[in-house]
Amino acid sequence: MRILLLTHAFNSLTQRLGAELRQRGHMISVEFDISDSVTEEAAALFAPDLIVAPYLRRAIAESVWSHYLCLIVHPGEAGDRGPSALDWAIDKGLPEWGVTVLQAEAAMDAGPVWASANFCLRAAKKASVYRHEVTQAATVAVLQAVERFASGSFVPQRAISSQWQPLMKQADRAIDWQLDDTATVLRKINAADGFPGVADSLFGQPCHLFDACVEATLRGTPGEVIAQRETALLRATVDGAVWIGHVKRARSIKLPATLAFAGESASVPYAPLLDWWRVPSATWQDIFYEESGAVGFLHFEFYNGAMATQQCERLRAALAWAKLRPTHVLVLMGGQDFWSNGIHLNVIEAASLAGGSAADESWRNINAMNDLALELITTERQITVAAVGGNTGAGGCFLARATDLVWVRDAAMLNPHYKNMGNLYGSEYWTYLLPRRVGQEAAQAIMHNRQPLTAQRALEIGFIDACLAGDVPAFRAEVTRQATELASEPDLTLRLAAKNGARLRDETIKPLATYRAEEMTHMHRNFYGFDPSYHVARHHFVYKSLASWTPRHLAIHRELGWKLP
Ligand code: COA
């Protein structure tokens, strides 16, 4: 079938559905929901058998749904209606929630149901639930709906009963710091994370709060900021305290809290953690290390997978320390939602807002990423593994590839390319790491085509080493099992010798420093050169500017010479 994905943005759910449908032999094209007339034009060009809308922020025009069957992915159970479905479910602390695929018609979310799937609702950030449970359920439901449509015999039924839930307003989200307990504060911020955040104030300044995490021991006067640690601020509640990792100040962008309030937080006492070796059960800790037998596990929970200069430097220090441990295998776990998305574009943008230079901060950040990648590539005493449980993009993919083995959860999406960010050339030693895995030609194609890869596809082309099934806990259990097995392999010493020998040979042929210098020549041009494309693209990315057209590599129906097959 020809299936048009009509979407607000090419987010990870849209990427996953596109890849899954393509793998089942369908022809997929993408159109961003820019205006009714643009959608009408796209549909006329592509003449789809079916339109699937994974992520829309407004209704589909009658001129479109009356001509083509349009299936909407609604992040709510059958019968649920309204634009804040997931927000309400998290806010109410419901134990179970779902995704419904319904047919677009005049009344919003009221059309016949083509498929639905339910899941246990985790107490977590909305964006995290969206990237895991919602995406998984939506994939199951959309594939079933498409099969049902293809069968020609399925008759969709309307939900037996339905309930309209209004847009959740900031008044519904408001926190009363003198009344709300820690669990309520967490639930409210989670229900608004990553968008729109909870409107509140810090240091008497209005801002939106994101990225909350409970604190078990520190206490203070309810509502007051009582401590800081790295990028987070700790705020007391009536029965405990909550770390606020990110905030968005008025007319600004979402930033690490201590950076957004750099001046104000100067007088806030530090609550440092003294070592990496602990599992943070009830406090804020973005880097931590665990060990099990001869396997070390290094976790880095960076919000949105974005890695600013200092985060790279701290992670590199932790890695250097972990390399000295008496382990045979070192697993880099990344975070729950993302393994890494490369340099921190918001922090870079903030450098220019503060009167500094975004180019300088970009340069510092990519150098810190490269130092981290180098630390990984040159690990001699352990076999290194990247356990990619969440999505990863751009430089994050190549940081993962800097390990010896990359194991990816089958639901994760990889975007191992840079060009979408204003034609960025990219570094992280990708010119060394990528061709030796997939060959020169495939490396060029990956960079040029800018298509997301499913874990399965990445395995087929040799970019990764294993694709493991299951949700995040099951994936992590399997990673632990396989890493333990690897650490006890009788020929591990030989394996290490072979790896170090290969590295030495590669170094003789062309030193890593040369790869880096070549990449950084291009990056210098991206950051400081005449063409500002990277700065413009970054600006639009962090400010979430609305798209004015669909990129041509996604909208095949807009290719020159496109003809209906
Ligand atoms: N720096 C700062 N923020 C980043 C980021 C980065 N490198 N990558 C992603 N984010 C943020 C997004 O702005 C978004 O923020 P929000 O919480 O305000 O919504 C959040 O992470 C999730 O991103 P989103 O695009 O919705 O996630 P996705 O899973 O649908 O898509 C990517 C993943 C990787 C395809 C996409 O985020 C992307 O293109 N990121 C930029 C990668 C990049 O160019 N890095 C720099 C070069 S190394």
Same domain for 9 and 35, yes or no, is yes
Among residues 238, 267, 296, the one where a domain terminates is 267
Answer yes or no: is pLDDT of 486 > 90: yes
Consecutive H or E run containing 468? strand 466-468
Question: Residue 140 is part of a domain; what is its CATH number?
Answer: 3.40.50.170
Same domain for 116 and 235, yes or no, is no
Same domain for 304 and 361, yes or no, is yes
Beta-strand runs (E) in 237-369:
241-249, 254-256, 287-292, 295-300, 329-334
Q: What is the pLDDT of residue 279?
A: 67
Answer yes or no: is pLDDT of 281 > 80: no
428 Cα nearest atom in ligand 1: 48
Q: What is the pLDDT of residue 355?
A: 85
Radius of gyration of the chain (CA): 24
Among residues 213, 233, 267, the one where a domain terminates is 267
User: How far, in Å, is the centroid of ligand 1 from the Cα of 259?
Assistant: 19
User: pTM for the whole thing?
Assistant: 0.96
Coil, strand or helix at 263: coil
CA 145-151-152 angle, to 5 degrees, is 100
User: How far, in Å, is the centroid of ligand 1 from the Cα of 399?
Assistant: 16
Provide the token pair at 377: 């590539």
70-74 and 50-55 as β-strands: parallel, antiparallel, unpaired? parallel
User: How many domains in the chain?
Assistant: 3
Same domain for 153 and 233, yes or no, is no
Name the H helices within 324-429.
345-353, 358-377, 395-401
Q: What is the pLDDT of residue 354?
A: 81
Same domain for 451 and 526, yes or no, is yes
Choose which residue among 86, 341, 423, 533 to substitute to test ligand 1 binding: the one with the highest number of ligand atoms within 8 A of its C-beta: 341
What is residue 529's DSSP assignment?
S
Q: What is the pLDDT of residue 564?
A: 79
Mean pLDDT of 313-330: 97
Distance CA 88, CA 416 (A): 35
Within a domain: residue 555?
Answer: no
CB count, 10 Å around CB of 510?
12
Interval 375-411: pLDDT, tens:
999 999 999 999 999 999 999 999 999 999 999 999 9
Interval 331-340: pLDDT, tens:
999 999 999 9
Band of residue 562 on the pLDDT scale cut at 50, 70, 90: confident
DSSP string, 35-96: -HHHHHHHHHHH--SEEEEEE-SSPPPHHHHTTS-EEEEESS-TTEESTTHHHHHHHTT-SE
Same domain for 208 and 117, yes or no, is no
Interval 95-150: pLDDT, tens:
999 999 999 999 999 999 999 999 999 999 999 999 999 999 999 999 999 999 99
User: How far, in Å, is the centroid of ligand 1 from the Cα of 310?
Assistant: 18
Answer yes or no: is pLDDT of 499 > 80: yes
Same domain for 72 and 126, yes or no, is yes
50-55 and 232-236 as β-strands: parallel, antiparallel, unpaired? unpaired
Distance CA 407, CA 386 (A): 6
Same domain for 411 and 337, yes or no, is yes
Question: Residue 403 is part of a domain; what is its CATH number?
Answer: 3.90.226.10
Nearest Cα residue to atom 17 of ligand 1: 194
Same domain for 300 and 375, yes or no, is yes
User: How far, in Å, is the centroid of ligand 1 from the Cα of 540?
Assistant: 12
Nearest Cα residue to atom 20 of ligand 1: 304
Asked if residues 404 and 384 have their Cβ atoms less than 8 Å apart, the reply is: yes
CA 389-393-395 angle, to 5 degrees, is 115
544 Cα nearest atom in ligand 1: 13
Q: What is the pLDDT of residue 14?
A: 98
Answer yes or no: is pLDDT of 323 > 80: yes
Nearest Cα residue to atom 41 of ligand 1: 341
Interval 167-200: pLDDT, tens:
999 999 999 999 999 999 999 999 999 999 999 9
Choose which residue among 195, 304, 397 to substitute to test ligand 1 binding: the one with the highest number of ligand atoms within 8 A of its C-beta: 304
Consecutive H or E run containing 16? helix 12-23
Displacement of CA 242 from its chain's centroid (Å): 23
CA dihedral 343, 348, 350, 353 (to 10 degrees): -160
Answer yes or no: is pLDDT of 275 > 90: no
Within a domain: residue 536?
Answer: no
How far is the CA of 170 from the CAs of 57, 544, 549, in angstroms? 18, 20, 31
Within a domain: residue 273?
Answer: no
User: How far, in Å, is the centroid of ligand 1 from the Cα of 348?
Assistant: 13
Nearest Cα residue to atom 10 of ligand 1: 304
How far is the CA of 128 from the CAs of 122, 125, 305, in angstroms? 9, 5, 12
Interval 537-553: pLDDT, tens:
999 999 999 999 999 99
303 Cα nearest atom in ligand 1: 21
CA 361-209-181 angle, to 5 degrees, is 145
User: How far, in Å, is the centroid of ligand 1 from the Cα of 11?
Assistant: 9
User: How far, in Å, is the centroid of ligand 1 from the Cα of 326?
Assistant: 36
Nearest Cα residue to atom 19 of ligand 1: 194
Within a domain: residue 553?
Answer: no
80-81 and 163-164 as β-strands: parallel, antiparallel, unpaired? parallel
Within a domain: residue 550?
Answer: no
Nearest Cα residue to atom 35 of ligand 1: 393
Q: What is the pLDDT of residue 241?
A: 98
Distance CA 223, CA 232 (A): 15
Answer yes or no: is pLDDT of 464 > 70: yes
Same domain for 427 and 406, yes or no, is yes
Mean pLDDT of 205-223: 97
Nearest Cα residue to atom 22 of ligand 1: 304
Find the domain containing 250 and state its range. Answer: 177-267
User: How far, in Å, is the centroid of ligand 1 from the Cα of 392?
Assistant: 9
Answer yes or no: is pLDDT of 320 > 70: yes
Question: Residue 213 is part of a domain; what is its CATH number?
Answer: 3.10.25.10
Same domain for 66 and 122, yes or no, is yes
Q: What is the pLDDT of residue 454?
A: 95
Nearest Cα residue to atom 8 of ligand 1: 341
Within a domain: residue 544?
Answer: no
347 Cα nearest atom in ligand 1: 2
Band of residue 560 on the pLDDT scale cut at 50, 70, 90: confident
Q: Could you tell me which residues are beta bridge partners of residue 560?
A: none
DSSP string, 128-169: HHIIIIIHHHHHHHHHHHHHHHHHS----B--SS-EE-PPPP
Provide the token pair at 353: 């807002």
Asked if residues 104 and 71 have their Cβ atoms less than 8 Å apart, the reply is: yes
Same domain for 246 and 214, yes or no, is yes
Among residues 142, 167, 192, the one where a domain terminates is 167
Residues framing ligand 1 (Cβ under 6 A)? 11-12, 127, 194-195, 254, 304, 306, 341-346, 391, 393-395, 415, 418, 420-421, 424
The whole-chain average pLDDT of the chain stands at 96
Asked if residues 207 and 200 have their Cβ atoms less than 8 Å apart, the reply is: yes
Interval 291-309: pLDDT, tens:
999 999 999 999 999 999 9
User: How far, in Å, is the centroid of ligand 1 from the Cα of 340?
Assistant: 9
Within a domain: residue 303?
Answer: yes
User: How far, in Å, is the centroid of ligand 1 from the Cα of 96?
Assistant: 28
Within a domain: residue 552?
Answer: no
421 Cα nearest atom in ligand 1: 44
User: How far, in Å, is the centroid of ligand 1 from the Cα of 421?
Assistant: 10
User: How far, in Å, is the centroid of ligand 1 from the Cα of 232?
Assistant: 20
User: How far, in Å, is the centroid of ligand 1 from the Cα of 344?
Assistant: 9
Band of residue 561 on the pLDDT scale cut at 50, 70, 90: confident
User: How far, in Å, is the centroid of ligand 1 from the Cα of 343?
Assistant: 10
Nearest Cα residue to atom 25 of ligand 1: 11
Q: What is the pLDDT of residue 280?
A: 65
396 Cα nearest atom in ligand 1: 48
